[in-house]
Structure 1
Amino acid sequence: MAELNTVARPYTKAAFEYALEQGSLDQWSEVLATASAVAQDATMKQVIGNPGLTSTQKADALISVLEENIDEGSKNFVSLLAENQRLLLLPEISAQFEQLKANQQKSVAIDVTTAFDLDEQQQQKLAQALGTKLGREVSLTTQVDKSILGGVVIRADDLVIDGSVRARIAKLAEAMNS
């Protein structure tokens, strides 16, 4: 996983800087997300991995699927990835691009897991508190997992705050067994 991050980083940085310069972060974000989904398709993986096809043919196959949403800069980027045999990095490039975009726009996507549904007011208070703590605009996604028993588990990029009852019980059990 770390190797994919390392290999994808220069491509992501180049795409991001170009998109930022062109003022088309949202368009590039959409193109990369779509290209990522297409590159993960089983049929497209066979095309990309086919040693009998040239890099131009592989790029053209991917570009033909993306034809409606893709501009000249994006076509050149896909061609460059194909030429360097890096088309399978598209999912990682897309993920890194989204992270750079969120940092640029001072926003963060946070996933909150609770034992019970949060009403709208609770979600707003939590988003506001997290936004203040992180110094960013917060986009909250909630899900219910009754196995945590109570409390919340908050995930934002590499930050995890586990305030669940299940985690506290596990910590107590560990302390008692020591």
Structure 2
Amino acid sequence: MYTGLIASRYASALAEFSAANGDEERTYDEVRRLIGLYRRDRSLRDVLFSPVVGDEAKLEVLRGAFGRPMSASLEGFVRLVLRHRREHYLYFMFYSFTDLYRRRHNIREALLVTAAPVDDRFAGRVCRAAESRTHGEVRLAREVRPELIGGFVFRMDDVLIDASVAAQLKLLRRKLGCKPNRIV
């Protein structure tokens, strides 16, 4: 089977199961947290992929890394994944679940990159403008990159708005560099 197909089927099952149990939002938050743990902690991945470590020990390691009790839906899901020996796909399942949850609840994630920190009022205006176009909720993440010199870069789904000074300078250099030099 294909990784994407396995991940999407298991993610759909987790979405249905957590919705039926009434803790879909909590499961979504926990899955997002586990994605971060999975990325940062190499030893967690090593334990999950180890054929020597048993299912209960793997579950205990996940619980310990999580730091608090998991929801019943998520714990049941992880048990199912471990029982079917699909732990190698767990990361992809989590990503598929978060994508499915966002689509079901019309949530978009956006990134606003600026050269200097911006106040909450400006970020709120950008967020409201994006929400009016998407007719859904937009969760805006902010990032500061001084190399932009000025302006901003906004990215949401497949939309990229690059209104930075650095991009304008790059475009200007490209336009000026394409013309042959005239010697008078």
Query: Which TM bucket (shorter chain)?
Result: 0.7 to 0.9
Residue 175 of structure 2 corresponds to residue 175 of structure 1? yes
Write the letter of the residue equivalent to 1:86. Answer: R
For structure 1, which runs of at least 5 residues remain unmatched after alignment? none
Per-residue deviation, residues 63-111 of structure 1 (Å, max 9, x unmatched): 5535952344333311222234332433333333223222222232221
Structure 1 CA distance, aligned partners of 2:142 and 2:62?
35
CA contact 1:111–1:142 (8 Å) conserved in 2: yes
Residue 22 of structure 2 corresponds to residue 30 of structure 1? no
Q: How does 1:108-123 map to 2 (within 5 A)?
A: 108-123=108-123
3-state DSSP class of the match of 1:118? coil
CA contact 1:35–1:62 (8 Å) conserved in 2: no
The alignment-based identity, stated in percent, is 20
Distance change in 2, residues 1:170/1:67 (3 Å):
closer
Instruction: Extract structure 1 runs of 4+ deviating beyond 6 A.
Output: none
Q: 1:158: Cα distance to partner?
A: 3.9
3-state DSSP class of the match of 1:161? strand
3-state DSSP class of the match of 2:52? coil
Aligned length: 175
Task: Give the corresponding residue for 1:9.
Answer: 8
Structure 1 CA distance, aligned partners of 2:31 and 2:53?
23
CA contact 1:38–1:62 (8 Å) conserved in 2: no
Q: 1:147: Cα distance to partner?
A: 0.8
Structure 2 CA distance, aligned partners of 1:36 and 1:95?
8
Per-residue deviation, residues 134-175 of structure 1 (Å, max 9, x unmatched): 222222222221211222111224432222222222233333
Q: Could you state the TM-score of these two structures normalised by the residue count of structure 1?
A: 0.78
For structure 2, which runs of at least 5 residues remain unmatched after alignment? 179-184
Task: Give the corresponding residue for 2:17.
Answer: 18
Task: Give the corresponding residue for 2:85.
Answer: 85
